[in-house]
């Protein structure tokens, strides 16, 4: 049987885009439809928002613990995003990929570009807003950030959007269901790429 001969290597999917564009919302909707993808949980020095759970949304640590993790080379990438530090634990990602499982990272653009340097075989996906006015509405509607923080996030978004040229795919998050369908389609297509297959025995 062919399915005994053909296995697949794990694929790293990296999703980023400006704050408030809907990355977290898309990720949750994707996971509800596609269970067979491992989501990396980042470490952050940010304080939890209402409803956020340690080890669920993030691992929440203080600056000292974050610095220890940096010193001990525990991050695949890390960056200061606005006023807080965020990092992707390396061990989890590398172990899952080695096991042939796909991994999804939802990280900022600085982090995504660091990962691209280290693991250029990853698949880099950028989420775009339909327009800047809508991005402002979404940041405000989330109701979790101060006006100062919203202003800072909007000021960064023009430069961030220009970084789309470093990515493999762009998805405009206008209608949520459409955006999620496009992300699913990208994942499905990448899983079918011959370069991602291990052809273990003579399949002819
Ligand atoms: P990010 O993770 O990129 O910072 P969020 O997922 O927190 O963004 O989304 C920011 C806000 O925008 C949330 O209130 C969310 O419900 C809303 N949102 C996300 N996608 C859409 C969409 N396609 N249409 C309208 N609102 C959306
Ligand atoms: P928030 O504080 O709104 O949850 O996230 C702020 C930003 O940090 C978002 O753009 C999010 O994608 C990014 N982020 C979350 N985790 C990581 C991470 O591990 N590394 C990097 N570089 N950015 C992250």
- Asked if pLDDT for residue 16 goes beyond 70, the answer is yes
Q: Please tell me if the CB atom of residue 160 comes closer than 6 angstroms to any atom of ligand 2.
A: no
- The per-residue pLDDT for 202 is 65
> Phi and psi at residue 203, in whole multiples of 5°?
-95, 0
- Asked if pLDDT for residue 142 goes beyond 90, the answer is no
When pLDDT is averaged across residues 54-69 and rounded to a whole number, the result is 96
3-state SS assignment for residue 155: helix
pLDDT tens profile 84-117: 999 999 999 999 999 999 999 999 999 999 999 9
How many CA atoms, within 13 angstroms, populate the side-chain half-sphere of residue 58?
Answer: 23
Q: Which two tokens stand for residue 25?
A: 């919302």
End-to-end CA distance of the chain: 11
Cα–ligand 1 centroid distance for 175 (angstroms): 11
When pLDDT is averaged across residues 134-138 and rounded to a whole number, the result is 95
Cα–ligand 2 centroid distance for 104 (angstroms): 13
Q: How far is CA 204 from the centre of its chain?
A: 38
- Asked if pLDDT for residue 200 goes beyond 90, the answer is no
When pLDDT is averaged across residues 29-48 and rounded to a whole number, the result is 96
Q: Which of 146, 82, 135, 137 is nearest to 109 (CA)?
A: 82
- The per-residue pLDDT for 7 is 85
Q: Which of 57, 188, 33 is nearest to 123 (CA)?
A: 188
* H or E stretch at 12: strand 12-16
- How many beta carbons lie within 10 A of that of residue 176, not counting itself? 12
- The per-residue pLDDT for 27 is 95
Ligand 2 atom 5: residue of nearest CA: 19
- Asked if pLDDT for residue 48 goes beyond 90, the answer is yes
Q: Please tell me if the CB atom of residue 114 comes closer than 6 angstroms to any atom of ligand 2.
A: no
Our mutation pick for probing the ligand 1 site, out of 138, 150, 180, counting the most ligand atoms within 8 A of Cβ, is 138
- Asked if pLDDT for residue 78 goes beyond 90, the answer is yes
What confidence tier does 46 reach under pLDDT thresholds 50, 70, 90?
very high
- The per-residue pLDDT for 146 is 87
Cα–ligand 1 centroid distance for 76 (angstroms): 26
Domains along the sequence of the chain with CATH: 2-40+100-199 (3.40.50.300)
């Amino acid at each position: 049987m062919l399915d005994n001969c053909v296995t697949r290597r794990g694929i790293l999917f990296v999703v980023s885009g400006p704050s408030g564009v809907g990355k977290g919302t898309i990720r949750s909707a994707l996971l509800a439809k596609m269970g067979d993808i491992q989501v990396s949980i980042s470490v952050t020095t940010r304080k939890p928002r209402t409803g956020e759970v340690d080890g669920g949304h993030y691992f929440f640590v203080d600056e000292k613990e974050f610095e220890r993790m940096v010193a001990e080379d525990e991050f695949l990438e890390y960056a200061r995003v606005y006023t807080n530090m965020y990092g992707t634990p390396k061990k989890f990602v590398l172990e899952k990929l080695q096991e042939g499982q796909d991994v999804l990272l939802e990280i900022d653009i600085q982090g995504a570009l660091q990962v691209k340097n280290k693991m250029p075989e990853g698949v880099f996906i950028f989420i775009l807003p339909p327009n800047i006015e809508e991005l402002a509405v979404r940041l405000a509607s989330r109701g979790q950030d101060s006006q100062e923080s919203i202003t800072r996030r909007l000021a960064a978004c023009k430069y961030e959007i220009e970084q789309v040229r470093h990515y493999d795919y762009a998805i405009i998050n206008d209608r949520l269901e459409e955006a999620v369908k496009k992300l699913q389609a990208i994942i499905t297509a990448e899983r079918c790429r011959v370069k991602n297959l291990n052809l273990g025995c003579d399949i002819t």
